[in-house]
Amino acid sequence: MLKKSILITLFLSSIYSCDQQTESPNIIMMIGDGMGISQVSTSMYSSDNYTPLERSEFVGLSKTHSLDDLVTDSAASGTALSSGVKTYNGVLGLDKDYNPVKSILEISRDKGYMTAIIVTSTIVHATPAAYFSKSKSRYEYDNIADELSKSGINFFVGGGERYFNDRDDKRDIINEMVDYEFVNSMENYRNTDSKNIGFFTAYDDPIEKYLGREPSLDDLIEVTLQKLKSFNKPFFLLIEGSQIDWAEHDNDPEYLLSEMLEFDAAVESSYNFAEKNKNTLVVVTADHETGGASIVDGSLEESITKTEYSSDEHTAEMVPVYSFGYNSSYFTGVYDNTEIFDKLKAIIEK
């Protein structure tokens, strides 16, 4: 009798520990910088009235203002999304008293997750930096590169090599990062099975999509997801369509559309992965709208739109939050952007 109960206990505990391992969900966080409803609508009407965001299971709206300004910048809103606190425009990873706050990427890393960042700006730009930097100024790029080198992020893909090996202090951080393999092509990125990889896609800012930026975001995501999956650990992946914002600062609809179409393909790749891998959550949102863009004319038959802008800066409108997969229902409703962090944390720590 005693033996039997010990066996049952062992059996139950082995099931329990198995469950624990498989239950930790993968998180794919996608940020379209400057991507409001108007930007999503532009690519939708230009794509036969279809956006992959229609596959989303839940949709919410998020309030984007910063601590000191109704109109946020990408550092303050990045910090709200990454770490759940409102801070001042220009500040990364610090709260209102300039105390460092832990980002959802760092929380997942410390729970044994694999972590990765893919962006179409430099890797030290405000949005990605909000996930690993604690800096009073988003423009201290050399310092932010140093912080990235110590962050333990497994894979990072983006521009900005110059902040690592062409620095004011003459250090070569790439040489210092002995645990990392650095690659310079998609083929090398795909073929290495290293646990820590840096892939610089440009010396400085990557070029605009319509001028031929490669590799494409969706290809990068597909390769990165296969890599992450191969380690049999949960992962946190941050993806930013960085230049949606730059196109809208330029009030340039052609530039905008090329960036949005690439971002749409990236959403499709992430949703496809989450459809096959049920313990994966995808959240797609923006840090703010840019340009005060509105579609004032166009044609559904011809898939064209005409946009007018009310600003060449950010605006304070709420932005959409789309979610798909594991616990996606958490993201329905109207809430502050800091709550996106709260919800992700609750899901990871469940």
Closest to Zn ion by CB, 107 or 130: 130
C-alpha to C-alpha distances, 49 to 44, 45, 46, 298, nearest whole angstrom: 5, 4, 7, 12
Binding residues vs Zn ion (CB under 5 A): 245
Tokens found for residue 123: 């890797």
For Zn ion, give the closer residue by CB, 24 or 315: 315
Min separation Cβ 297 and Zn ion, Å: 26
Q: Order of strands, edge to edge, in the sheet holding 155-159?
A: 181-183, 197-202, 155-159, 114-122, 235-241, 26-32, 280-285, 319-325, 58-63, 333-336
Nearer Cβ to Zn ion (214/313):
313
State both tokens at 48: 């036969």
Residue entry with tokens 């040489």: 175
d(CA 327, CA 270): 15
Q: Find out whether 58 and 331 touch, Cβ atoms under 8 Å.
A: yes
- Taking the complex as a whole, the smallest distance from the CB of residue 74 to Zn ion amounts, in Å, to 6
SS3 assignment, position 112: coil
Instruction: Residue 143: name the closest of 155, 130, 134 by CA.
Output: 134
Q: How far is the CB of 34 from Zn ion (least distance, A)?
A: 6
Q: In whole angstroms, how close is the CB of 309 to Zn ion at the nearest point?
A: 13
Q: Do residues 200 and 250 lie in contact, with contact meaning Cβ atoms separated by under 8 Å?
A: no
Nearest distance in Å: CB 76, Zn ion: 12
- Nearer Cβ to Zn ion (125/134): 125
Known catalytic membership, residue 14: no
Contacts of 229 (CB under 8 A, 6+ apart): 235, 277
Closest CB to Zn ion among residues 138, 227: 138
Q: Which of 74, 103, 121, 258 is the catalytic position?
A: 74
Nearest to 191 by CA among 238, 153, 227, 233: 227
The catalytic residue positions are 74
